[in-house]
Amino acid sequence: MNDDQRLRYSRHLLLDEFSEAAQDHLLASRALVIGAGGLGAPALLYLASAGVGAITVVDPDEVDLTNLQRQVVHATDRIGQPKVHSARTALAALNPGVQVEPLHQRADEALLRREVPRAQVVLDCTDNFATRQLVNRVCHEAGVPLVSASALRFDGQISVFDPRDAASPCYACLFPPDTPPEEARCALLGIFAPVVGVMGVMQAGEALKLLLQSGPDGRWHGHQSLAGRLLMLDGRNWRWTEMRARRQPDCAVCGGHEPHAPGH
């Protein structure tokens, strides 16, 4: 790191768990963020501010006035712009040392099979069940950890699915693909803005921990991720509920199948 970077990340370097090697590892890492909306917006800001050196962000939509109640990476003067380009503008202003790759398209299978193996962690910030299942399947096959969250009305939930851990369930273990829920979107049911902010910030926190645990500094190995745990938040009273989850032997994605070793 140079002197400007040491100053920028000085509050990290004051933590017992951090070293320059750990921060350098973040600077050399890549995160893939799928969705630049309510969850992706705060997640992107904290990934960039923390110094994740390369961030690929995927979203097919443009910024709309209704987004600005909660999608804090966007701004009024960028209404009508692709969300990925708006996000790149905001992240460049926050931390010009971070490389942001915007992909203004839907996260289809071809894109995911190309982009997931390039990343060391994937954040699913979408609101579509079929896309979540596809992201989970590609992450499992590529051996890349996945941080998944959702939020609607006053409720949020978050977990980590880590195919590198033989005991970790995948998303399909908790939410089988053949039993899709009734689609519910905030455009129809609403969302309390701080709830989606909390969940997106937590996604960034889990992603940073996963990146640091794979780095050269062993002091991060004692920090437990949310793999095997589903945290649920009731934003009406800020009450958390934790549910333990196990890999299901009959899971259509991970049951009886070993993931490929990551190629990085």
Q: Which sequence positions are flagged as catalytic?
A: 186
Q: Sign of torsion, CA 186 187 189 193?
A: positive
Pairing type for strands 54-58 and 99-103 reads: parallel
How many C-beta atoms surround the C-beta of residue 75 within 10 A? 14
Which residue shows structure tokens 């999608």?
Answer: 71
Between CA 38 and CA 28 the distance in angstroms is: 26
Between CA 204 and CA 102 the distance in angstroms is: 18
Pairing type for strands 155-161 and 146-152 reads: antiparallel
Q: Counting Cβ atoms within 10 Å, is residue 247 exposed (0-12), middle (13-18) or buried (19+)?
A: middle
